[in-house]
Amino acid sequence: MKKMFTSALATGALLLAVGFSAPAMAAEDAAAPAAAPAAEAVVVVTETQTTAPAAAPAAPAAPEVVLNTGDTAWMLTSTMLVILMTIPGLALFYGGLGRSKNMLSVLMQVFVIFSTITVLWCLYGYSLVFADGGSFVGTFGKLFLNGIKPDTLSGSIPEYVFVAFQSTFAAITCALIVGAFAERMKFAAVLAFSILWFTFSYIPVAHMVWAPTGLLFADGALDFAGGTVVHINAGVAGLVGAYMVGKRIGFGKEAMPPHSLTLTMVGASLLWVGWFGFNAGSALGANPIAGLAFINTILATGAATLAWITTESMLKGKASMLGAASGAVAGLVGITPAAGFVGPMGSIVLGLIVGAVCVWGVSGLKRLLGADDAFDVFGVHGVGGIVGAILTGVLAAPSFGGTGAADFSIAHQVMVQFKAVLITVVWTAVVAFIIYKLVDLVIGLRVSDEAEREGLDITSHGETAYHS
């Protein structure tokens, strides 16, 4: 390096010496001819490319961001798939788990929450999550989708498509919570809670995890499609709600079996189909990572289903349809944070672990907590999300077939994942507690005992799902 630097100095000195030793008239004569070719070069370059090499090499231009129709088509499809997994998927899954007298109330809550949150997302949610900002929340720079036009791009897709895709994530997260306090909460209270929780819990957590300026994003937390943002966030809020609203009348004393496991199975199947948009769509394009997330969503879900019914058979002597459906959902939840980071074999391992752990989550842990989490929102989404988030830090390692870099450190990444889980749990628990208290003071959380006994279909909505 020292020799090169010395050589360059010597060359420069030689050139300076030659320049100063030339006669002044020669310098003037040389200047005149030099101008003409330069002018000619400009004209020629515009007419033909054959003289382009004569011009000085231009600096490499930044890659132009252009619309990719394949990516756009896939993202439009993914958005529709996530809508499918919410309405009717989640609605039917939850509805079948409830008692027949509350079927329509569950469908109504999921349907209207989805409608409300998608609107609020476009009014202010998108801006507060993705419009720059600090560590905890974005800015109002894109309030009411300000500045976004049909030809505005987000990566290789129209930004409107990205807005729509992300709106479905916000909506299903709020709808998931319904399963924890189903069959006993006022409809107005459900909507009020959903709006406030979306504003003060979902938005900050989504920004922290997915926005480049977010606290957990900067830490390097891995959450491909919403293990922390969606499932842990909703699961913990649901558990707090189960405590705050209180147990259903007769809980622990009367049998409260699902009124239609047929509908629950249909709902679980729609969830599985829609989850391909949820996970593979989070690659934000029709690309290799979308393919990886797609196959992982198949394998982890299948493995979790098998793990659940095997564990159930060992504990109870029989494998149930409810267990199979619950195992599938547990697998979907577990693979969500890891879908684009782990290999296919890693997804199978993850699914087997999550499926078995979530059996404990809806049985032993549920009894230990003593809460009436009606449809096991925390036992499946909370527990499954936590296990999936932590295992992502392990299975993303190249040694396990993951997509992590060559210098990937399992110990470091697991600590980062644990921090993300802890912050999410604490944040949503505190926010949810405050909001439940506020709604209880203003509206009241719970329907009357008489209304609960008669059923929310008639008392809250004046109609019934079934006629004898």
> 3-class secondary structure for the chain?
CHHHHHHHHHHHHHHHHHHHHCCHHHHHHHHHHHHHHHHHHHHHHHHCCCCHHHCCCCCCCCCCCCCCHHHHHHHHHHHHHHHHHHHHHHHHHHHHHCCHHHHHHHHHHHHHHHHHHHHHHHHHHHHHHHCCCCCCCCCCCCHHHCCCCCCCEECCEEHHHHHHHHHHHHHHHHHHHHHHCCCCECHHHHHHHHHHHHHHHHHHHHHHHHCCCCHHHHHCCCCCCCHHHHHHHHHHHHHHHHHHHCCCCCECCECCCCCCHHHHHHHHHHHHHHHHHHHHHHHCCCCHHHHHHHHHHHHHHHHHHHHHHHHHHHHHCCCCHHHHHHHHHHHHHHHCCCCCCCCHHHHHHHHHHHHHHHHHHCCHHHHHHCCCCCCCHHHHHHHHHHHHHHHHHHHCCHHHCCCCCCCCCHHHHHHHHHHHHHHHHHHHHHHHHHHHHHHHHHCCCECCHHHHHHCHHHHHHCCCCCCC
Please tell me the predicted confidence (pLDDT) of residue 60: 63
Spell out, as residue ranges, where the chain has pLDDT lower than 50: 1-55
> What pLDDT, on a 0 to 100 scale, did the predictor assign at position 89?
98
Q: What is the pLDDT of residues 34-80, one digit of tens each?
A: 333 333 333 333 333 434 444 455 556 656 779 999 999 999 999 99
Condensed to tens digits (0 to 9), the pLDDT of residues 92-114 reads: 999 999 999 999 999 999 999 99
Domains of the chain (ranges plus CATH)? 72-461 (1.10.3430.10)
pLDDT, residue 58, reads 59
Give per-residue pLDDT as tens, 166-186. 999 999 999 999 999 999 999
pLDDT value of residue 62: 59
- What pLDDT is recorded for position 51? 41
pLDDT value of position 461:
97
* pTM for the structure as a whole: 0.86
